[in-house]
């Protein structure tokens, strides 16, 4: 009995030391397209896999935060739970509405969609259009909408001039009111950050400096927030390790 008590005391002390001395980092996980069963590429997530991951978060009492919460944390104005997590989805795929949104609502989880504005009125059936965006905002208040540019969703967008970037941001502001942004392909530049500041954006998400995927530290720049990309080939055990222990 004394040995068991001794082990419990050691474990308790280790936990207290962890809370006191290990800095809090926040996982920002990122999804793209969703499918029901068969995937065409590793960036698509099956409905079953996504539900298992969201159920894990719910069953283990993770606290899905908002963009406002993340801003508060990075500005050192508030504290977050060690089980805080931000769920993001990029581009505005139609199955973010048809597949992901009902699962998020089922488990009472908050999330963000970084939307590409040019899809509002185009004829591409793979993306949400204006009517679907209105439906999303009406039926799923647990999902925020933010900017993924208006029409700059290509890898070299970060090489554009500051004026060109600002012009695109102005177009997006006319359609979606948000002070939060995700860089196309996670790539950015000094001019990009300056343009965001001038257009009133307070947070911008990348995939880490030089493509580094990691969790968010409180010392990170508000205009270069790293994220962790999710893929179909990642088993649940690796998902758990990534959100808990990955840097």
DSSP for the chain, written as a single string: -HHHHHHHHHHHHHHHHHHHHSPPEE-EEEE--EESS--SSTT-EEHHHHHHHHHHHHHTT-EEPPHHHHHHHHTTSS---TTEEEEEEEETBHHIIIIIHHHHHHTT--EEEEE-GGGGSS--TTB--HHHHHHHHHH-TTEEEEES-SS--STTGGGS-HHHHHHHHHHHHHH---SEEE-GGG---HHHHHHHHHTT--EEE-SSGGG---PEETTS-TTSB--EE--TT--HHHHHHHHHH--
List the structure tokens of 74: 């990075």
User: Which of the listed CATH numbers 3.20.20.370, 3.90.1150.10, 3.40.50.1370, 3.40.50.720 matches domain 25-245?
Assistant: 3.20.20.370
List the structure tokens of 206: 């990348």
Task: Specify burial of residue 245 (Cβ count, 10 A radius: 0-12, 13-18, 19+).
Answer: exposed
* Cα(213)–Cα(85) distance, integer angstroms: 15
| pLDDT, one tens digit for every residue, the chain (247 residues) | 767 666 666 545 544 444 444 579 999 999 999 999 888 888 899 999 999 999 999 999 999 999 999 999 999 999 999 999 999 999 999 999 999 999 999 999 999 999 999 999 999 999 999 999 999 999 999 999 999 999 999 999 999 999 999 999 999 999 999 999 999 999 999 999 999 999 999 999 998 655 668 999 999 999 999 999 999 999 999 999 999 876 6
What pTM was computed for the model? 0.90
């Amino acid at each position: 009995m004394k040995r068991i008590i001794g082990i419990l005391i050691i474990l308790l002390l280790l936990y207290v030391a962890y809370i006191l001395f290990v800095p809090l980092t926040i996982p920002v996980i990122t999804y793209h397209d969703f499918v029901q069963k068969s995937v065409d590429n590793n960036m698509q997530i099956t409905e079953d896999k996504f539900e298992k991951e969201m159920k894990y978060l719910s069953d283990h009492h993770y606290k899905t935060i908002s963009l406002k919460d993340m801003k508060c944390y990075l500005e050192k104005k508030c504290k977050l739970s060690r089980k805080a997590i931000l769920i993001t989805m990029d581009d505005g795929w139609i199955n973010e509405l048809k597949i992901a949104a009902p699962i998020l609502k089922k488990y009472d989880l908050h999330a963000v969609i970084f939307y590409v504005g040019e899809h509002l009125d185009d004829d591409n059936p793979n993306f949400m259009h204006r009517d679907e965006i209105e439906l999303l905002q009406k039926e799923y208040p647990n999902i925020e909408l933010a900017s993924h540019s208006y029409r700059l969703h290509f890898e070299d967008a970060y090489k554009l001039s500051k004026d060109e970037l600002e012009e695109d941001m102005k177009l997006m502001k006319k359609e979606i009111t948000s002070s939060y942004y995700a860089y196309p392909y996670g790539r950015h530049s000094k001019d990009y950050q300056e343009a965001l500041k001038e257009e009133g954006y307070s947070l911008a998400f990348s995939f880490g400096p030089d493509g580094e995927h990691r969790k968010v530290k409180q010392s990170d720049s508000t205009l270069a927030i790293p994220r962790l990309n999710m893929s179909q080939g990642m088993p649940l055990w690796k998902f758990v390790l990534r959100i808990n222990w990955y840097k």
